[in-house]
Structure 1
Amino acid sequence: MKSRFKTLEGKQALYDSYDQLLHLWDVPYEERDIETRYGQTHLIITGDEHNPPLVLFHGTGDNSAIMWIYNIQALSKKFYVIAVDTLGGAGKSEPNEHYSKDFVPHLWIDDILNTLAIHKTHMAGVSYGVYLTLSYEIYNPDRVEKIICMASFLPVKGLSIKYTLLGMRSILTFFPEVLRPNEKNALKLLRKLGSPLSEENTENNETFKHFLYILKYSQPERRKFTTYELSALSTFKEKALFLIGNSDPIAYHSSYIQFFQDYEFHYKIIKRAGHSINQDQPEIINHEMINFLLNDG
């Protein structure tokens, strides 16, 4: 099976940086590795276990340590948070041979929830993480309370060629910088994605260093997507909120917005935010998440 990292030294450097980021979370946390049918899955768990559970899924080319660093303090005060390192990504989860052959997201998430004895939970995802949450909700609606979907679009079957072209545009966003992963290109890519890190002094910045390590040392993952009939996706519209940055080169487009309006999905456009929406505007996103999931006002 193809290695997730280019070198063992790079893997160790990335893992060391991962651990440093967790210290910067500045909340009590527990790391757990659980066995699933598709391999060992790494979890970061924080918050009071008596609070409502909230399962978080990061995007492609990320991991939980970097994805939720600006959100975890607020979320862990209100929820029992389980941040999942996606299999095949740049985190600490280790896929097995079944992952590359027949990965089925809702079965994998079932394994996670069953191991943790969580019957029903809120879920939130960014980008590819949205696809995972929606895939689970379609097959297990009784186990999902509410969903926050950030920086993503619905995986609808049979849409026009326009949406296919928009999907290709999203992939091209990462080129050519991803082909030459150095500090200069990492900053350029962050600017494309709208990240505030691109405007900060990156010297001695642990978060930027970790992003650079992901580009330099991890292998890009080819994700397999399943599209669904609109009728299946429409069943959860009352319990899902889509949050999209107005500067997102991937998820923000007039055609997508029109789709949400036409089919009456709940959505909000977040100003001064790009694809890294939860990091661009963390206070706004934290408020929107807590308010929608808990009706907290």
Structure 2
Amino acid sequence: MVKVYKNKRAEQQVLQSYQRILDMWPVDFQEHHIPTKYGLTHCITSGRPDLPPLLLFHGVGDNSAVMWVLNVEELSRHFYCIAVDTLGGPGKSIPNEHFVRGSFDQVDWIHQIIDHFQYERVYLAGVSNGAYMAYNYTAVNSHRVHRTVCLEGGMVTNPFKTMVRTLLMMFPEICIPTHQNLIRILKKLSSPNSEIFTQYPWLADHLALLMKSHNQQAMFVHKVEKYNREEGGAAGSQLYFLVAEHRIDLQRDFLRILDEGKYQYKVIPDTGHGINHEQPERINEEIVGFLLG
């Protein structure tokens, strides 16, 4: 069985912190443990059930409670939000013996979540690796998706290169992962003009705890499919990409793909990788505007 956390103590600390953040959510919500072939998938729903369904996906080292805490109030005015804790991520989802590389099928897993809520078609949005998941599902199952917004991610051409580039951005602090060094990494990934961690210090504390506690190898079960231009092009009009201005020089290959494929995208000034945390009002406006436009 895949271990999501480094040890039981780390798991308890994360889940306690998760609940404290969930208690800060500014809207009513419900928690669900959805049985799938690959384990119990934890989802948080908010908004009226008669509103259009919007599945939300977080990044590799995140969870739904922290990822959408600053966005959910506005998004749930327009959508029935279903925030998914990724299997293998540091949230409340619980993988089983079928969550192993070679057996786990990410697209099939998302199918099962959508089927549980009995939807034929949905809207999708995701950040970082969640953007890849939202993009990939749309590219191969466009008939089940109305529209999708990908924030700071999407199609992948070289998974190894992407991983190495991320590690280099965390160097040298990641070599000595003290709490302060982990906070420094978070600030390096953010726009220098951002005051997000000054405004919300608990946000930084939780993200640092996840970095220290999560067994990142649990996410290796998710096979990353390389970009297929034909599949992406067929779903092109359904896709919208939001790219952070900070460190945009590292996004040259990604922007080239967006330009060559004539995908709709926008560069958001004064934002870093935590794009929806750093400018939640602007990002909410972009998501709602495209999905319901």
Q: TM-score, normalised by structure 1?
A: 0.90
Structure 2 vs 1, CA of residues 257 and 228 (structure 1 numbering), >3 Å: closer, same or farther?
Answer: closer
* Root-mean-square deviation (Å): 2.1
Shift of 1:198: 6.5
Distance 1:40 1:64 in 2: 15
Q: Which residue of 1 aligns with 2:65?
A: 65
Structure 2 vs 1, CA of residues 115 and 209 (structure 1 numbering), >3 Å: closer, same or farther?
Answer: same
Shift of 1:153: 4.0
Amino acid at match of 1:185: N
Structure 2 vs 1, CA of residues 244 and 272 (structure 1 numbering), >3 Å: closer, same or farther?
Answer: same
Structure 2 counterpart of 1:255, from 248, 253, 256:
253
Structure 2 vs 1, CA of residues 141 and 82 (structure 1 numbering), >3 Å: closer, same or farther?
Answer: same
Distance 1:252 1:120 in 2: 34
Is 1:191 aligned to residue 187 of structure 2?
Answer: yes
Amino acid at match of 1:243: L
Q: Which residue of 2 aligns with 1:53?
A: 53
Is 1:182 aligned to residue 183 of structure 2?
Answer: no
Maintained 8 Å contact 1:46/1:76: yes
Maintained 8 Å contact 2:46/2:82: yes
Structure 2: where are the runs of 5+ without partners?
Answer: none
Q: TM-score, normalised by structure 2?
A: 0.91
Q: Which residue of 2 aligns with 1:277?
A: 275
Maintained 8 Å contact 2:39/2:99: yes
Structure 2 vs 1, CA of residues 198 and 178 (structure 1 numbering), >3 Å: closer, same or farther?
Answer: farther
Is 1:225 aligned to residue 221 of structure 2?
Answer: no
Structure 2 vs 1, CA of residues 10 and 286 (structure 1 numbering), >3 Å: closer, same or farther?
Answer: same
2:271 is paired with a residue whose SS is coil
Structure 2 vs 1, CA of residues 256 and 132 (structure 1 numbering), >3 Å: closer, same or farther?
Answer: closer
Shift of 1:123: 0.1
Total equivalences in the alignment: 287
Shift of 1:13: 1.3
Q: Which residue of 2 aligns with 1:13?
A: 13
Structure 1: where are the runs of 5+ without partners?
Answer: none
Q: Which residue of 1 aligns with 2:136?
A: 135
Maintained 8 Å contact 1:245/1:274: yes
Maintained 8 Å contact 2:244/2:269: yes
Structure 2 counterpart of 1:211, from 189, 207, 213:
207
Maintained 8 Å contact 1:17/1:206: no
Maintained 8 Å contact 1:54/1:121: yes
Shift of 1:108: 0.1
Instruction: Give aligned-pair identity as a percent.
Output: 34
Shift of 1:103: 1.4
Distance 1:201 1:287 in 2: 21
Distance 1:252 1:53 in 2: 33
- Aligned residue runs from structure 1 range 94-113, under 5 A: 94-101=94-101, 102-113=103-114
